Amino acid sequence: MDVPAYLADGFEEALIGIGRQFNQDLAIYDYDKCVDILMTRDGMDHDEALEWMEYCVLGAYVGPGTPVFLEKDENNG
């Protein structure tokens, strides 16, 4: 079954690559860049942008091709 890697509309600048899970491609986004986009584009403050990311973006499961949002580990490079 070929399921497309779904893209997160409006977060093109935060796309960092495509990951593979078994035979599934998944779009991978930089979580912090997405927050920055919400703050800049939509005029949200930091807390509003975090809440929006958690509820409206991470909470939006659209099936096996749902994007991944990577939070970088600042302690490991």
Residue ranges of domains in the chain:
12-71
pLDDT, averaged per 10 consecutive residues of the chain (77 residues), comes to 86 96 94 98 98 96 94 80
pLDDT at 58: 95
**CA nearest neighbour of 56 among 2, 5, 11:** 11
Looking at residue 23, its pLDDT comes to 87
Q: What is the pLDDT of residue 76?
A: 73
Q: Around Cβ 75, how many Cβ atoms within 10 Å? A: 5
Task: Write down the residue that tokens 């986009």 correspond to.
Answer: 37
Report yes or no: 2 and 13 within 8 Å, Cβ to Cβ: no
Joined together, the tokens standing for residue 57 give 């973006």
pTM given for the model: 0.89
The span from the CA of 13 to the CA of 37, in Å, is: 8
